[in-house]
Structure 1
Amino acid sequence: MKRYLYLWHRWLGIVLCLFMAAWFFSGMVMLYVGYPKLTPEEHLAHLPELPQHHCCISMGAALAASERNAAPLAVRLSSVAGSPRYLLDYAEGTNLAVDARSGRLVTGVDTDAALASARQYADDAGVIYRGLVHADSWTQTSALDKERPLHRVQLEDEAATLLYISSQTGAVVRDATHVERVWNWLGAWLHWIYPIRDHPWWAQIVIYLSLAATVMALLGQMIGLLRWRFSTPYRLGSRSPYPGGFARWHHIGGLLFGTLLIAWVFSGLISMNPWALFSNASQLSTEHYRAGLLGPESDPEPVADTLSRFRQAGFSVHELHWQVVGGTVYRVAYDSMGESRVLARGSAAQVLMQIPVQSLQAAVSAMGPDHAVEFQLLESYDAYHYPRAEQSMYGNQRKRLPLLRARFDDAVSSWVHVDPYSGALLQQLDQRRRASRWLFNLLHSWDWLPLLERPLLREGLIIGGSLGGLIISLSGVVLGWRRLRKKRRPRKAAR
């Protein structure tokens, strides 16, 4: 039986140790340089204040101009190419834009329009058009599918920023600095095996490579313990059968870091949601939460009056969103720093910091009317709601406090997270998704509050563990190469 353990570990290692080494090295890079993304802070910082006079047609007129019968999922009034524009997000996989001054549907974003949009973002830097692409090295994400194809524009700024601009709306949807582009060849691009990202079997390849690597690591840990002399040392006085060289490095390194290696590789497998094991099974209704759709009659108040009311409250509006919560239409305004204010429909409504908790609770309760629900207003971060650094995978998600959490007693113990500042449904977490949080986020990224609050300690531990993983993997590569060379030599002699 032992012989088969050794054989399986050896041949799996010959195939997989190079992948393991690449994963550990690229993981260290990703700790400091994440895959390019446009964060909400970056987006808002480059938007001018919405004009006070001669601003915009009404939201209803913009919806009519969209020539869509269905209601949009989201509507926002932003600035594109230096002028106000409605951006409409529809469920059928399309994003549309309507010029907020002329009421004209934007039917195509050409080169000149893309350059004008880039100039708004670039401030005083020069811009150079780099062509139209469906996808490239820095846009490998389904989040941009509604925006494709994408215009690329190079900025002549200190960071050598490359902008990606939606051909559907003209909005900047991604930025990638020179530093991000260079390091990501050794970071996310290598870690997620993005060279084959367009292959239809990419996800399955990553899943089964991770599964095989997990099995290999488990076998290695078993063998390492079997070969270690806990009582009587070997003849040369060592408790390891290997007196020195790469074999000893591999054995000792595996005993010291093997458990951590297993946790990292297994949690990497979980990140791919293999065989949909961790897909959300919650049946709570988001339609009941909204209890209404955005339509031409949703907000009859002129936009100029709405903007004026925010300004009278001392708030500078750089972007305006419409949100329906429990049948009430709210206007959510954002300034250039990402701060927000809300204003309900109606002339008597007041500008508020947050939507009233009672209104949010009533809307959330409607999501599962047949189930009891328990509410909690979270005033501090915990294991399921916490911020991450910008370079992390979730660095583009804002995690503000307080947070409204609702726990339902349905079959899958659903949790719902709501942002009181905007009324947005942030998450639905059933038992599977909460388990995934521990099996992936904790084991893989060490998303544990005591460590997240001590970033230098966390980074030091991750780097140390990754170097241990590199010792195991690279020594395994050398041992595998030597084994293959031994296999080849007898054939040459036979000739």
Structure 2
Amino acid sequence: MKRYLYLWHRWLGIGLCLLLALWFFSGVVMLYVGYPKLTPAEHLARLPPLSAQGCCVDLSVALQAAQREHAPSSIRLSSLAGRPHYLLGYRAGESVAVDARSGQRVYPTLGSLMASAEQFDPAPAVYLGSVWEDAWSHSRALDSERPLHRIQLQDRDASLLYLSGQTGAVVRVATGNERLWNWVGAWLHWLYPLRGGVLDGAWGWVVTSLAFAASLMCLSGMLVGVLRWRFTKPYRSGSRTPYKGIARWHHLLGLVFGSLALTWVFSGWLSMNPWRVFEHPQALASAAYQGGPLIAEAFATDTTEALARFTAEGFIPREIEWRRIGGQGYLLARDGTGAVRLLDGDGRVHQSLEPEALVRAAAAMWPAGTPQVETLHAYDAYYYGRAEHSMLGHLDKPLPALRLRFDDPAATWLHLDPRSGALIEQLDERRRVYRWLFNLLHSWDWLPLLERPPLWQGMLITLSVGGSLLSLSATWLGWRRLRPRKPLARRLAAKRK
């Protein structure tokens, strides 16, 4: 049995040790440079203020111009090429843009694309053509915007803009620094070289399989390392390891860093949600919180009047979103700093909603019970923010927030934002387990460390260096095993000398 254990570890290591070294190295890069994205803060900061003058046609006109059978999943009033537009999102299908002044659906042209880029940044720009998907636009969140138009800005950051082929809006920004470091960062860490080519459809399966095999390699290596270590009586050489040279260092590094490598690779495998183990079959439907489709009849105040109301309150919106909460229609306005105001059906402007209204709306998701309500004034193990460049750092985690605990079969928790009424996230029992098995084991999302970034980064870098040395020593041993050997005659001649 031991022989097979040694052979499995040897050949799995030969096949995967270099990949593991690249994972450790790219993970360190990702501590500082994330995959390109357009954060909400960047988006709002580049928008011009919305004005009620000459704006806007009624929402019903915009919905009719979209010519869609179903109600949209999102409605925003934003600016494209310096003009106000309704932007309509649909769960199944492409996004739609409607000119808020003319009420006509618009399609991107070269002129409007360049104007949208100029609105985002007035630096000189060069149109590079359209792509369906490339190295910096693999995110599935962009699917409703494809194809994507690329515009290269000649600014200080050498920013590459991606604009929606459906609306003409800027949907992604990749700076020159991000593009440079991502070749050895997230692009490499997530095996994105396999995306977009002949293996594109099998990318998820390939990553899952490699991570699972790497987990077996680390586990078998830990077992071999313990079996070959003399805890009591040393070997004849006086050492507690039978190996010499690089093999000795590999044995020692494996004993120290093997468990770390196993937890990182295993948690990375779990991030792919194998066999959908983290999806609860009885998850609550978030549509019940909304309480009805986004239709024009649900909103009593028209767009022009809403803009005037916000302005009268001294609030200058740059974007407005139509939102229903518990069946009630609200207009949510955001300014350039990300501050929000809510306009209700009676024309009153609020800085936040009453918690009781949010609880009533959320209770519709599980009418059979009454949720336990808690107000969060500080981050904890299940609700916390991340750095903006991290994978989920663009998600807003404001404080205070409401936590609702339901007694449904999935033991669901909801986090709600009283400022905007947004349902921030839904954590059932499986997602809470995932928080520990992935977020903690893979990213070390532990609040005392996240609150001390230098300590957190220092520990991860130190351990990553150890894991890299372990993987590189395995790479050397694998090369020695596979490299061509001298012919027998030459070996005998060398011995005679």
Q: Once the 2 structures are TM-superposed, how far is the Cα of residue 339 of structure 1 from its aligned partner?
A: 1.0
User: Which AA in structure 2 matches 1:445?
Assistant: S
SS of the aligned residue for 2:254 comes to helix
SS of the aligned residue for 1:201 comes to helix
1:144 matched to 2:142? The reply is yes
Identity %, equivalent residues: 53
1:301 matched to 2:301? The reply is yes
User: Which AA in structure 2 matches 1:63?
Assistant: L
Number of positions where the alignment pairs a residue of Structure 1 with one of Structure 2 = 489
Q: Over residues 293-331 of structure 1, what are the superposed CA-to-partner deviations in whole Å (9 max), with x where a residue is unaligned?
A: 221222242322211211222211010011100111111
Aligned pairs (5 A) from 1:330-345: 330-345=330-345
Q: Which residue number corresponds to residue 114 of structure 2?
A: 115
User: Which AA in structure 1 matches 2:116?
Assistant: S
SS of the aligned residue for 2:350 comes to coil
CA contact (8 A) 2:283 2:428 kept: no
Aligned equivalents of 1:353, 1:489: Cα separation in 2: 81
Q: Which residue number corresponds to residue 152 of structure 2?
A: 154
Q: Which residue number corresponds to residue 418 of structure 1?
A: 416
Q: Which residue number corresponds to residue 240 of structure 2?
A: 239
SS of the aligned residue for 2:201 comes to coil
Q: For structure 1, which segment, 16-25 or 53-62, has the greater mean C-alpha deviation from structure 2 after superposition? A: 53-62
CA contact (8 A) 2:378 2:400 kept: yes
TM-score, normalization by structure 2: 0.95
Aligned pairs (5 A) from 1:76-155: 76-106=76-106, 108-122=107-121, 124-155=122-153
Q: Alignment partner for residue 182 of structure 2, among 181, 184, 204? A: 184
Q: Over residues 385-430 of structure 1, what are the superposed CA-to-partner deviations in whole Å (9 max), with x where a residue is unaligned?
A: 1111111100111110111211111111111222222222222211
User: Which AA in structure 2 matches 1:49?
Assistant: P
SS of the aligned residue for 1:143 comes to helix
Q: Once the 2 structures are TM-superposed, how far is the Cα of residue 364 of structure 1 from its aligned partner?
A: 0.4
Q: How well do the aligned residues superpose, as a CA RMSD in angstroms?
A: 1.7
CA contact (8 A) 2:413 2:427 kept: yes
Q: Which residue number corresponds to residue 34 of structure 2?
A: 34
Q: Which residue number corresponds to residue 393 of structure 1?
A: 391
1:229 matched to 2:192? The reply is no
Q: Given the superposition, is the C-alpha separation of residues 488 and 416 from structure 1 closer, same or farther in structure 2, using an over 3 Å criterion?
A: farther
Aligned equivalents of 1:443, 1:301: Cα separation in 2: 49
User: Which AA in structure 2 matches 1:239?
Assistant: R
User: Which AA in structure 1 matches 2:175?
Assistant: T
Q: Alignment partner for residue 402 of structure 1, among 400, 420, 430? A: 400
CA contact (8 A) 2:397 2:424 kept: no
User: Which AA in structure 2 matches 1:266?
Assistant: F
Q: Which residue number corresponds to residue 208 of structure 2?
A: 207
SS of the aligned residue for 1:412 comes to coil
Q: Given the superposition, is the C-alpha separation of residues 412 and 483 from structure 1 closer, same or farther in structure 2, using an over 3 Å criterion?
A: same
Q: Alignment partner for residue 352 of structure 1, among 350, 372, 390? A: 350
Give the gaps of 5 or more residues in structure 2. Answer: 493-497
Q: Which residue number corresponds to residue 438 of structure 1?
A: 436
Q: Over residues 233-277 of structure 1, what are the superposed CA-to-partner deviations in whole Å (9 max), with x where a residue is unaligned?
A: 22232222224x211221111111111111100000011001111
Q: Given the superposition, is the C-alpha separation of residues 379 and 119 from structure 1 closer, same or farther in structure 2, using an over 3 Å criterion?
A: same
Q: Which residue number corresponds to residue 18 of structure 1?
A: 18
SS of the aligned residue for 1:323 comes to strand
CA contact (8 A) 1:128 1:153 kept: yes
Q: Once the 2 structures are TM-superposed, how far is the Cα of residue 443 of structure 1 from its aligned partner?
A: 0.4
CA contact (8 A) 2:36 2:173 kept: yes
Q: Given the superposition, is the C-alpha separation of residues 491 and 476 from structure 1 closer, same or farther in structure 2, using an over 3 Å criterion?
A: farther
Aligned equivalents of 1:326, 1:420: Cα separation in 2: 14
Q: Given the superposition, is the C-alpha separation of residues 489 and 178 from structure 1 closer, same or farther in structure 2, using an over 3 Å criterion?
A: farther
Q: Given the superposition, is the C-alpha separation of residues 408 and 254 from structure 1 closer, same or farther in structure 2, using an over 3 Å criterion?
A: same
Q: Over residues 69-106 of structure 1, what are the superposed CA-to-partner deviations in whole Å (9 max), with x where a residue is unaligned?
A: 31111101011111111100112232111001111111
SS of the aligned residue for 1:249 comes to helix
Q: Once the 2 structures are TM-superposed, how far is the Cα of residue 52 of structure 1 from its aligned partner?
A: 3.4
TM-score, normalization by structure 1: 0.96
Q: For structure 1, which segment, 394-403 or 282-291, has the greater mean C-alpha deviation from structure 2 after superposition? A: 282-291
